[in-house]
Amino acid sequence: MAYTYLISGATSDVGRALIERLLKTAPEGTLVLAQGCGDVEKLAPLCQAYPGMIRPFDVDLSDPYKVDTFCQVLASTCPAPTHFIHLPALPVVNTKFKAFDEPRFAKDMEIQVHSAVKLCKAVLPAMTKARFGRILFIQTSYTLGAPPKNTAAYVMAKQALGGLCKSLAVEYARFGITVNCVAPSMMETNFLKDTPDLIVQASAADNPMGRNATPADVVPAMAFLLSDEAGFITGVTLPVTGGSAIA
């Protein structure tokens, strides 16, 4: 069956890997509505590999008015999404709480949480009517047990997404809609560009598998939670951590 996937943060390393995974064996008629912000050119190789199956959108999710416009454009010009995957976030900045950057935190909350609420409100009515849907958020292993020091802003935003996931899961389960999270440990992607190398290396050394995660480790778990086979799994946060954090 052909599905329509709405992926916010689709230009990220994880987003691009997920698109390739979803489209590799997708039937004709499958469509990915792919949101990025100032970097949609990163989708060009995938658009060439899968012509007509990816529709890029350049939208700044930190601006609530632009998110509202994006929702209106989706409703008026695109098929109703059957799947919604929400990936965007500002890169982690390790900062002591006494130097907490409130404007940056507010921006990250717009990108991660407020836009997720608006986009869920946009896609859920059609999913409810169809009595089918998949929603997936990306959390972090930092929400499992004690988080690392100096990550308050990042952890708070991710915990808010976790609360949204659980609340929606309970409310929409009777409509055949599942809402889940994956929680990777540190992933070596462009997302770590502001993280000191010493922290990245220490995380790899501390992991029971002796390395950090990669998109290739995380995307299969995401694809499973988005699949038809995962229809009785909802409200969960699936750790993908190599054993560094166990729920």
Active site residue 65: no
CB within 8 Å of 116: residues ≥ 6 apart: 8, 86, 137, 161, 164
Classified as helix, coil or strand, 64 is helix
Catalytic residue among 5, 142, 154, 172: 154
Task: Label residue 32 left, alpha or beta by phi (over 0 means left) and psi (-120 to 50 means alpha).
Answer: beta
Query: How far is Cα 27 from Cα 207, in angstroms, rounded to an integer?
Result: 38
Question: Across the strands, what pairs with 237?
Answer: 181
Angle at 247 between CA 16 and CA 234, to 5 degrees: 60
Q: How many CB atoms lie within 10 A of CB 18?
A: 27
Helix (H) or strand (E) holding 23, with range, is: helix 13-24
Q: Are the C-beta atoms of 242 and 211 separated by less than 8 Å?
A: yes
Task: Provide the annotated active-site residues.
Answer: 154
